Structure 1
């Protein structure tokens, strides 16, 4: 048995099938395979099971490539003329400085210009000067402006849950797009949606104003507003909708595809669901946001799916 045959046998019986297929894909696309390796690869892929795993992993990598591919209006430079190589090295130092400035600028636009902000899968908590508390959902930002007779917070993006300290002499006001929410002491959330927002009350009473009109909300009520209008008040289960502010999510009768999409925003990586049939199943779930991996493990048993873990991504199939 040749060294290559021994390596092929070790790969086949010594590794997980997906890892085995991933290794062959990596090697076969490197442009450095020897003739002996090519023959070994072809023999390996003649096994129907190996061929199936190879096709599945190849498809997954294709999905990931499309997910991170730059927009159509971005031109990728694929080749560098040999005569420009030296100039390119000099330019690289300049480009590194420009790139650092771009990163700093992006940080300012998304985080630093606000009093409190979250990015990525992170959530945040802030205790304000008057004792009021704010929980920031992922991708959220607020500015705080406390003055003599008013406490004002601007929700620039995302969603925030407010537990407001009562002070009748200093109303608490949240500005969000084309409207505002005014309270004395209560607990509620405001979620930006375009030029407006969606307000949900879990305790107390708030007044939502937009376009010259207003509506009052009490516990388990919700309203959405946009530029120049207030929507209809709806009854909701505020405890479930705002459970993220307490560190978990509650789902009742929701398609698995929707559940995974919502959980993905809180996961420090990417979760991909590649099983359409399983995605249509309606499930009940309570997911602790600090234990998402444990929920995925339980999902494998309860829904007969398989979770494949690769660096930075979990594929559920």
Structure 2
């Protein structure tokens, strides 16, 4: 088939990937995706190529108030588990024989998390012990409860954990290669592409690695990456928690981290084309209600070129 003839199918495949990556996807959306995929070999090939591209982009780059959903009780089986089974059934039927598509879903565990938020909503979860978790946008969390341990897994995104004291069960959070442990504390965990930022807001949190852990006091932050940790450093909690007010505040933040965080507020990918740009320090305070405007602002301040190839793919590169 001529390359130009495949272009519409490629655009459609990227569109469906963006839709399916959003927790706000409806059952009608999933049925429409499955129907599109079943149209023929052209759509299946486009889907396979798009999922491989999407995964490569993963490797290369990455308001409180009315937006908060009334908190459900965690650790209680409910409609979310049924919804995941329905999703898996639909996806399995649609991608039978399409290895790349199935491989993408299999390597993204956040698809099957207990709790997810989309690009438009945050969410507060009430845990069975009285603890709470506030999920930022585009965040995925799983909860494991036992008589001996309270264990959360942050698959993606950012969350504020308010752990209540329990003398019999420590409160653990796993995110990337980092493990946070506390008896009772308020702390923020930001799961970035290549690292995890942990910030103690109130009381103390122990973070591993390294072996033995680093104990964070209030207003201290540590960055965990590649089996090691950098810090602790003193930070302003208001900057860290700006996401709760629909703002992104950076004080010397690496561009790669800034892009990862901003990507949580729009569909698709923002890709940094030159790896040397990833460490550029960003100092800014932007509203996330218009992510594309924020991209343009940061690009102008850093003298970067912005290209919008589709509504779902934006690139940043040096101005030659």
Q: Which residue of 1 aligns with 2:202?
A: 203
Q: Which residue of 1 aligns with 2:162?
A: 164
Counterpart selection for 2:152 from 140, 151, 154: 154
Q: Partners in 2 of 1:245 and 1:182 — Cα distance?
A: 23
Q: Partners in 2 of 1:180 and 1:114 — Cα distance?
A: 19
Map 1:112-131 to 2 at 5 A.
Answer: 113-117=112-116, 124-129=122-127, 130-131=130-131
TM-superposed CA distance for 1:202, in Å, is 2.0
Q: Partners in 1 of 2:209 and 2:275 — Cα distance?
A: 41
| Residues 143 and 100 (structure 1), Cα distance of their counterparts in 2 relative to 1, 3 Å cut | farther
Q: Which residue of 2 aligns with 1:142?
A: 142
Find the residue that maps to 1:249 and give its secondary structure. Answer: strand
Q: Partners in 1 of 2:116 and 2:202 — Cα distance?
A: 25
Q: Which residue of 2 aligns with 1:5?
A: none
Q: Which residue of 2 aligns with 1:220?
A: 219
TM-score normalised to structure 2 length: 0.50
* Residues 167-224 of structure 1 deviation map (CA, whole Å, 9 limit, x = unaligned): 3546551142574412313233264898x96532122222346687344311122345
TM-superposed CA distance for 1:237, in Å, is 1.3
Q: Which residue of 1 aligns with 2:53?
A: 68
Q: Partners in 2 of 1:304 and 1:209 — Cα distance?
A: 38
TM-score normalised to structure 1 length: 0.50
Q: Which residue of 2 aligns with 1:269?
A: 268
Greater CA drift, 266-275 or 98-107: 98-107
Q: Partners in 2 of 1:178 and 1:310 — Cα distance?
A: 35
Q: Partners in 2 of 1:224 and 1:279 — Cα distance?
A: 16
Q: Partners in 2 of 1:278 and 1:190 — Cα distance?
A: 21
Map 1:1-317 to 2 at 5 A.
Answer: 68=53, 96=94, 98=96, 106=105, 110-111=109-110, 113-117=112-116, 124-129=122-127, 130-136=130-136, 138=138, 140-145=140-145, 147=147, 152-155=150-153, 157-169=155-167, 171-176=169-174, 179-189=179-189, 191=191, 198-208=197-207, 213-223=212-222, 231=229, 233-239=231-237, 240-244=239-243, 246-253=245-252, 259-260=258-259, 262-264=261-263, 266-272=265-271, 283-296=282-295, 298=297, 307=306, 309-312=308-311, 313-315=313-315
| Residues 118 and 232 (structure 1), Cα distance of their counterparts in 2 relative to 1, 3 Å cut | same
Q: Partners in 1 of 2:272 and 2:104 — Cα distance?
A: 34
| Residues 179 and 271 (structure 1), Cα distance of their counterparts in 2 relative to 1, 3 Å cut | closer
| Residues 154 and 96 (structure 1), Cα distance of their counterparts in 2 relative to 1, 3 Å cut | closer
* Structure 2 stretches lacking a partner, 5+ long: 6-49, 57-91
Rg (Cα) greater in structure: 1
Q: Partners in 1 of 2:111 and 2:292 — Cα distance?
A: 31
| Residues 216 and 107 (structure 1), Cα distance of their counterparts in 2 relative to 1, 3 Å cut | same
Aligned length: 230
TM-superposed CA distance for 1:235, in Å, is 1.4
* Structure 1 stretches lacking a partner, 5+ long: 1-27, 31-64, 72-93
